[in-house]
Structure 1
Amino acid sequence: MTDDARPDDERDAPTVACERCDREWVLDREVNDLDPGSHAIEQFALDHERHTGHYPDGVTPWVARCDRCPDGERFLAERPARRWAETHARHTRHTVRLEPPTGAVEAVSPRDDGDQS
């Protein structure tokens, strides 16, 4: 039986820990208060960083930074980070540096082929 097949009150709530804060949180309320697919763990991690200046244990964001202007964002998944980088590059014609949690930094350049998608 998967967690998805169990009733809500029997599901194990996810736990998030932060060594720097020396705390651990059980996200039972967050999971119950949000709709399915709302990404409670990701939202908690973003809120934690917003309030403390650092992410919980095991969370490293994707960072998209413009090479020419001060714009940039942090994301917890590749897809929104890449979408932001490509959109910013296309609209500003600036190159954006896409930094994954691990691996090589990638430059996302504006398209010169006239593609307006």
Structure 2
Amino acid sequence: MTDDALSDDTREAPTVSCERCGREWTLDSDLDDLGPGGHAIEQFALDHERHTGHYPDDVTPWVVRCDRCPGGERFLSERPARRWARTHARHTRHSVRLDPPTGAAETVSVEETPDGS
């Protein structure tokens, strides 16, 4: 997966590949539809997983799971994953497991949230 940080005039459309699907996509029309700051690669990766059950190459989500509630959430970046974990822990008073794409998992508990009183 590539995404060049050049100006819009010289910027090439990002390319996303998926070895499991045996395909590669150029996200030129996705960039036009989303506009500046639209996160075309992230949106494509989420849509791809929703339709195929797996993420494209080089995409591994942050996985956030409550110790008590069913299911969980997946995020493509750290900030929203941590925000969801802290908010869920604060509102439910449940511990939440935060699994980053690389590195060790951690637990977020209500005591660790800013308003953990």
Instruction: Give the fraction of aligned pairs with identical amino acids, expressed as a percent.
Output: 73
Q: 1:111 Cα shift?
A: 2.5
Residue 3 in structure 1 maps to residue 22 in structure 2: no
Partner Cα separation in structure 2 for residue 113 and residue 13 of structure 1: 39
Q: Give me the TM-score of the superposition, normalised by structure 1.
A: 0.89
Gaps in structure 1 of 5+ consecutive residues: none
The letter of the residue matching 2:55 is Y
1:6-17 to structure 2, matched below 5 A, reads 6-7=8-9, 10-17=10-17
**Take 1:26 and 1:92, find their aligned partners in 2: how far apart are those partners?**
42
> Aligned letter for 1:67?
D
Whole-Å Cα distance in 1 between the matches of residues 38 and 73 of structure 2?
A: 20
CA distance, structure 1, for counterparts of residue 114 and residue 101 of structure 2: 32
**Who is 1:105 aligned against?**
105
Gaps of 5+ in 2: none
1:113, distance to aligned residue in structure 2 (A):
8.7
Corresponding residue for 2:27? Answer: 27
Paired with 1:54 and 1:61, the residues of 2 have a C-alpha distance of 10
The normalised TM-score by structure 2 is 0.89
Amino acid at match of 1:50: R
**AA of the residue aligned to 1:40:** A
Runs of 4+ in 1 over 2 A off after TM superposition: 111-117
- Greater CA radius of gyration, 1 or 2? 1
Structure 1 residue 71: Cα displacement = 4.1
- Distance change (3 Å), C-alpha of 1:114 and 1:74: closer
CA RMSD of aligned residues (A): 2.1
> Quick one: structure 1 residues 116 and 104, their matched pair in 2 at CA, closer, same or farther if it must change by over 3 Å?
closer
Between the aligned partners of 2:59 and 2:104, the Cα distance in structure 1 is 18
What is the distance in 2 between the residues matched to 1:38 and 1:90? 30
